[in-house]
């Protein structure tokens, strides 16, 4: 179901006409000016995700104690994982002309810590989710004790993977320190954990803060890490932060709208943005987030076609079924 059927855009905004943009060539508009460049989303994403999946598979071999590593692989390599954080990190790094090989360790680390947060979030004391990423939740399959240890192990593995695998002849140590600090802040008590806590104690007046922390932080971190690795300027990194945050929240709000449209009257209660503010307001916010993300990318147009993968995130956000941030 395409989000373009839920909202009206200006004549300068590209609106895809099918509900499956990932399966065709997709024209990306980089600004209010027309652009003829064709960007093949499917080829870019499919090839990159294949590389990422192989790197993740290699990063977590089966070893003693076997149950923990089986559990780690189960959540990290889930078929339902969309790899959005990793793709965004690599796309941001390649924006500045870097070879993706140098960004892969950080991109994989983002997926590791993201998977860890999902394992912990789905625990009975949190969301008590029976499934995640199109498969039974980790604790449902391996038990609560192993799930907790799995999350802990994936968190620490992420940071170790950055340090051990990043080629320091390409990426200076000071950049790695900034990347590690960025990830630690994102998942800490002032980042996603803050959103998680307030979500547990949910109050309608905290809906905006919760969505920014739970969903915007991951996108912000992913884009910023790519820029930090590439040695981007402070202004460029700030643009990437704002872009990533907008896209992260945009994806979730679109998911909420799509779910509300699908469920109809059944979607009356809950913690989603739609349940608090309604579909119309959510659509207005989504339009604003899309415009904000595009605005930030307009300031990076000097990098030419390297910007197209980042634009694909924005357009795909409003023309897809679902993506799991």
pLDDT given at position 4: 32
At 95, give phi and psi (nearest 5°): -55, -35
Residue 245's nearest CA partner among 285, 212, 197 is 212
Q: Find the mean pLDDT for residues 112-132.
A: 88
- What is the C-alpha to C-alpha distance for residues 150 and 130, in angstroms, rounded to an integer? 17
- Report whether pLDDT(151) > 50: yes
- Sign for the pseudo-dihedral over CA of 46, 48, 52, 55: positive
pLDDT, one tens digit per residue, over 71-107 is: 999 999 998 788 989 999 999 999 999 999 999 999 9
Residues 212-226: what's their mean pLDDT?
92
Distance CA 88, CA 310 (A): 7
From CA 312, how far away is CA 286, in angstroms rounded? Answer: 16
Q: Cβ distance 89 to 222 under 8 Å?
A: yes
Residue 3 has pLDDT above 70, yes or no: no
Residue 206 has pLDDT above 80, yes or no: no
245 within 8 A of 226, measured Cβ to Cβ: no
Rounded CA gap, 262 and 321, in Å?
11
**Per-residue confidence band for 59, with pLDDT thresholds at 50, 70 and 90:** very high
Assign 30 a pLDDT band (cuts: 50, 70, 90): very low
pLDDT band at 271 (very low <50, low <70, confident <90, very high): low
Q: Could you tell me what percent of the chain has a pLDDT over 90?
A: 54
**Average pLDDT of span 123-141:** 85
Q: Is the pLDDT reported for residue 29 higher than 60?
A: no
Cα–Cα nearest to 99, from 182, 174, 166: 166
pTM of the model: 0.82
- Distance from C-alpha of 235 to C-alpha of 242, rounded to nearest angstrom: 11
C-alpha span between 108 and 160 (Å, rounded): 11
- Nearest in space to 303 (alpha carbons), one of 26, 102, 37, 25: 37
Flag whether pLDDT at 133 surpasses 60.
yes
Q: Give mean pLDDT, residues 226-241.
A: 97
Q: Which of 320, 186, 210 is nearest to 273 (CA)?
A: 210
Give the model confidence (pLDDT) of 31-40 as tens digits.
333 333 567 8
Chain centroid, CA 178 distance in Å? 19
Domains of the chain: 41-320 (1.10.600.10)
- Residue at token pair 């800490």: 188
Nearest to 94 by CA among 51, 40, 48: 48
Please identify which residue in the block is written with the tokens 């119309």: 280
């Amino acid at each position: 179901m395409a989000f373009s059927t839920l909202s009206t855009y200006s004549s300068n905004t590209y609106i895809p006409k099918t509900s499956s943009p990932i399966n065709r060539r997709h024209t990306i508009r980089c600004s209010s000016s027309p652009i003829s460049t064709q960007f093949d989303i499917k080829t870019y994403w499919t090839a990159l995700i294949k590389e990422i999946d192989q790197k993740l598979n290699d990063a977590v071999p089966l070893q003693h104690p076997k149950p923990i590593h089986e559990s780690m692989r189960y959540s990290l390599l889930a078929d339902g994982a969309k790899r959005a954080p990793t793709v965004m990190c690599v796309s941001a790094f390649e924006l500045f002309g870097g070879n993706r090989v140098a960004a892969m360790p950080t991109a994989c680390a983002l997926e590791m810590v993201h998977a860890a947060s999902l394992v912990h979030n789905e625990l009975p004391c949190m969301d008590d989710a029976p499934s995640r990423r199109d498969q039974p939740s980790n604790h449902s399959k391996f038990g609560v004790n192993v799930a907790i240890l799995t999350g802990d192990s994936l968190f620490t593995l992420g940071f170790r993977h950055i340090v051990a695998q990043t080629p320091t002849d390409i990426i200076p140590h000071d950049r790695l320190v900034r990347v590690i600090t960025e990830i630690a802040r994102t998942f800490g008590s002032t980042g996603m954990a803050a959103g998680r806590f307030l979500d547990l104690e949910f109050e309608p007046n905290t809906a905006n803060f919760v969505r920014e922390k739970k969903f915007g932080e991951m996108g912000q971190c992913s884009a910023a890490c790519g820029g930090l690795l590439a040695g981007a300027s402070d202004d460029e990194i700030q643009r990437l932060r704002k872009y990533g945050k907008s896209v992260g929240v945009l994806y979730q709000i679109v998911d909420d709208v799509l779910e509300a449209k699908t469920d109809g009257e059944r979607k009356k209660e809950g913690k989603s943005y739609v349940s608090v503010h309604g579909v119309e307001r959510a659509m207005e916010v989504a339009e604003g987030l899309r415009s904000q993300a595009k605005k930030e990318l307009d300031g990076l147009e000097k990098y030419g076609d390297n910007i197209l993968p980042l634009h694909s995130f924005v357009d795909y956000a409003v023309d897809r079924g679902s993506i799991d941030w």
